[in-house]
Amino acid sequence: MNRRRKFLSYYKPYLGVFFADMFFAFTAAAISLINPLIVRYITNDLLAKQEISQAMDSIIKLGVAMVALALLELGCNYFITNRGHVMGAKIEYDMRNDLFAHLQTLPFEYFDNQKTGQLMSRITNDLFDITELLHHGPEDLVISLIKFIGAFCILLNVNAYLTLVVFIVIPVMIVFASIIRKRMKRAFKRNRKEIAEVNARIEDSLAGIRVVKSFANEEQELRKFKEGNNQFLDSKKESYEAMGIYHSGLNFFISLINVIVIVGGGMMITKKVIGVGDLITFLLYINILIEPIRKLINFTEQFENGISGFERFMDVMELEPSIKDKEDAQELSNVTGDICFEQVSFQYEETEEEVFKNINLEVEAGQYVAIVGSSGVGKSTMCNLIPRFYEVSAGTIRIDGKDIRDLTLSSLRNNIGVVQQDVYLFAGTVYENIRYGKLDATREEVIEAAKNANAHDFIMSLPNGYDTYIGQRGIKLSGGQKQRLSIARVFLKNPPILIFDEATSALDNESERVVQESLERLAKNRTTFVIAHRLSTIRNAEKILVLTEDGIKEQGTHKELMELDGVYRQLYQYNLS
């Protein structure tokens, strides 16, 4: 689907409201064209050709008719403003849902290269401007065209010569507008980019506010923010300069049209070509003619804002997820937990160098496997390939003999539990965060999971127990407490395959002991991968893998690897020192 068709597709669920909106816009525009004709009729016919008593009766009747038209126009404008805006809000709702849902399908690699503030800007600011265009754009065009064409035809009927003189100015206005419009488009695009950068800076600084304060670097953050804010201000200045030229230029042309009408009409009255009533009518219609021009000014601004926002919206929507289900993907069920790596290699898309290559590994169901190696050799990446957070560059990973690329992502990931070093807890209660592991879990199941994770006692000591609000990212809890909640979440999920990604490396000795105990309880009878920071914690692993840039260099038990006197022994001795 091309971008134009995609743009128009968002009207489809609301065609009834859309056509009603266009009908009422048409009606309101037509009513506005009638009043000057009534003024002309009163001036040229009633007052000039009828007796005062007869004219008074006719004027009263026309007044009643004008009030009725005004009430009809009121109803039309109410519908346009109310229901039309609701339609725009619903379209914005649909687009925001589409964008957020699409972001959920994109792989880790996309988010590795994006700033959260920029994505937030696309979901909020951009979509508002797009829906303003979707709502007001067609409506303003209909009103403007009806008024413009209607006023032109009526003015031709009043005096063709004066009308043609006035309309000589219009093509010049169009050329002027088209030139400035290109400049405005460039400026609005830059605005989008700069405000996204400002949002990213705000999000980054506020998320790390404790680090900022701990280093007393408030001035540094303020300086960096001011730099971004100044760039945004410069881009706004550029856009406002273009807008200033646009507005003032068009207003000049509008004033020029009024001058032409007043001077030309006055000369024609002296030569008795037209009457005073015709000149008054002409001036009234010129004002009606000016209004659609002003609307077109607003429409141009809306168009530039909306289209630049829509282009950014489509830039994301057109990204094809590099990791997705095959058409004939199978559900993974009744998992035992046998995992096999066959000649697996991996490299990031933007780099030419492989993180690792030729990984061959067989892990039996229920086996406890530890992965060690120096920083940067790809320990976490290797484990992240199993739930397909990243895609293998070459080779195959199998679970119970099935290629993971032949499985649905949801069933694959539902059977894998991940406990990471950097625990993410959502703003909410303890109960809500644990229940995230199984959204339909009962309260009893949540409490049981917390007990298994050695978390129940500290939870009950909190002010409101399981209903205690823990702040964004669980900021009100200690590192060990947050880690135990994340383990409880995985206990509740109850997956047959586990990945512990340096889950205790950031904890003190006491917290590590408690968390390690709950991890070992969780790992019982499950296929488990442990990325170890402290090698002393994995001495009892059934299999230890030593990962280097060239792949798995050594593997075996702690005793076997120590006797081998190779890379593992060096790492272990260094770790103890």
Q: Which CATH number is 240's domain given?
A: 1.20.1560.10
Shared-domain flag, residues 432 and 297: no
Q: What is the DSSP string of 103-166?
A: HHHS-HHHHHT--HHHHHHIIIIIHHHHHHHHHHHHHHHHHHHHHHHHHHHHHHHH-HHHHHHH
Are 28 and 146 contacting, i.e. CB atoms less than 8 angstroms apart? no
Per-residue pLDDT tens for 301-356?
778 778 888 888 888 888 888 888 888 889 988 889 899 999 988 888 777 778 88
Contact yes or no for 129/307 (Cβ under 8 A) = no
Distance CA 474, CA 427 (A): 7
The CA-to-CA distance between both ends of the chain, in Å, stands at 61
Q: What is the mean pLDDT of residues 258-263?
A: 82
Can you tell me the mean pLDDT for 97-125?
79
pLDDT at position 400: 92
My answer on whether 160 and 251 are in the same domain is yes
On the question of pLDDT at 510 being above 70, the answer is: no
Residue 382, domain member (yes or no)? yes
pTM over 0.85: no
Distance CA 243, CA 187 (A): 10
For the beta carbon of residue 455, count every other beta carbon within 10 angstroms. 28
6, part of any domain: no
User: Which stretches within 271-408 are classed as H helix?
Assistant: 276-317, 379-384
The whole-angstrom separation of Cα 54 and Cα 11 is 52
Q: What contacts 24+ positions apart, CB below 8 Å, involve 512-518?
A: 512/480, 512/537, 514/454, 514/480, 514/484, 515/454, 515/480, 515/483, 515/484, 515/487, 517/454, 518/452, 518/453, 518/454, 518/455, 518/484, 518/487
Select the more confidently predicted residue: 424 or 575: 424
Q: For residues 247 and 386, state if they share a domain.
A: no
The residue among 437, 464, 484 that closes a domain is 484
For residues 18 and 11, is the Cβ–Cβ distance under 8 A? yes
pLDDT category of residue 264 using cuts at 50, 70 and 90: confident
pLDDT value for 506: 56
Angle 78-84-86 from CA coordinates, rounded to 5°: 110
Give the pLDDT band of residue 505 (cuts 50, 70, 90): low
pLDDT of residue 59: 80
Cα separation, 560 vs 544, whole angstroms: 10
Q: What percent of the chain has pLDDT over 90?
A: 9
Using a 10 angstrom Cβ sphere, with 0-12 exposed, 13-18 middle and 19 or more buried, the burial of residue 53 is exposed
Dump the DSSP string for 177-201. Answer: HHHHHHHHHHHHHHHHHHHHHHHHH
User: What Å distances lie between residue 304 and 142, 186, 299, 300, CA to CA?
Assistant: 19, 9, 8, 6
Q: Of 434, 450, 484, which residue constitutes the final position of a domain?
A: 484
479 conformational bin, left if phi > 0, alpha if psi -120 to 50, beta if neither: alpha
Closest CA to 321 of 389, 269, 268, 229: 389
Same domain? For 356 and 411 the reply is yes
- Contact between 269 and 275 under an 8 Å Cβ cutoff? The reply is yes
Let me know whether 66 and 170 are in one domain: yes
Does residue 123 register a pLDDT over 90?
no
Clarify whether residues 367 and 232 are in a common domain. no
Mean pLDDT of 259-263: 82
Q: Is 148 left (phi over 0), alpha (psi -120 to 50) or beta?
A: alpha
Burial grade of 157 (CB within 10 A; 0-12, 13-18, 19 or more):
exposed
* Per-residue confidence (pLDDT) for residue 511, from 0 to 100: 66
Q: Is the pLDDT of residue 181 over 80?
A: no
pLDDT surpassing 90 at residue 72: yes
Q: Are 107 and 159 part of one and the same domain?
A: yes
Domain range holding 438? 426-484
Task: For residues 356 and 24, give the distance between their C-alpha atoms in angstroms, rounded to a whole number.
Answer: 65
DSSP 407: B
Q: In which band, very low, low, confident or very high, does the pLDDT at 405 lie, cut at 50, 70 and 90?
A: very high
Per the prediction, the chain carries an average pLDDT of: 82
> Rounded to whole angstroms, how far apart are CA atoms 37 and 307?
39
Same domain, 380 and 463: no
Average pLDDT over residues 78-92: 87
Q: Is residue 301 in a domain?
A: yes
CA 167 to CA 152: how far, in whole Å? 9
* Distances 237 to 129, 191, 291, 300, 518 between C-alpha atoms, Å: 19, 10, 27, 18, 58
323: left (phi over 0), alpha (psi -120 to 50) or beta: beta
pLDDT computed for residue 460 by the predictor? 92
List the alpha helices (DSSP H) in 208-275.
209-214, 218-270
Evaluate whether residue 191 is within a structural domain: yes
Of residues 560, 532, 496, the one with CA closest to residue 370 = 532
Q: Which two tokens stand for residue 366?
A: 């229920």
* Burial of 36 (C-beta count, 10 Å sphere; 0-12/13-18/19+): buried
Judge whether 334 lies within some domain. Answer: no
Note whether 510 and 467 are same-domain residues. Answer: no
* Residue 136, pLDDT score: 78
Q: Which pLDDT score is estimated for 1?
A: 57
Calculate mean pLDDT across residues 442-470.
Answer: 89
Residues 397 and 510 in one domain: yes
Secondary structure (H, E, C), 43-56: HHHHHHHCCHHHHH
Q: How far is C-alpha 138 from the chain's CA centre? A: 24
Residue 83: the pLDDT is 87
CA distance 518 to 531: 16
436 in the same domain as 410: no
Q: How far is CA 306 from CA 88, 161, 368, in A?
A: 12, 40, 55
CA 479, CA 332: separation in Å to the nearest integer?
34
* Residue 2 forms part of a structural domain: no
Q: Say whether pLDDT at 397 is over 90.
A: yes
- Residue 331, in any domain of the structure: no
CATH of the domain at 348: 3.40.50.300
Domain identity same for 454 and 381: no
- Total domains present in the chain: 3
Q: Is residue 292 part of a domain?
A: yes
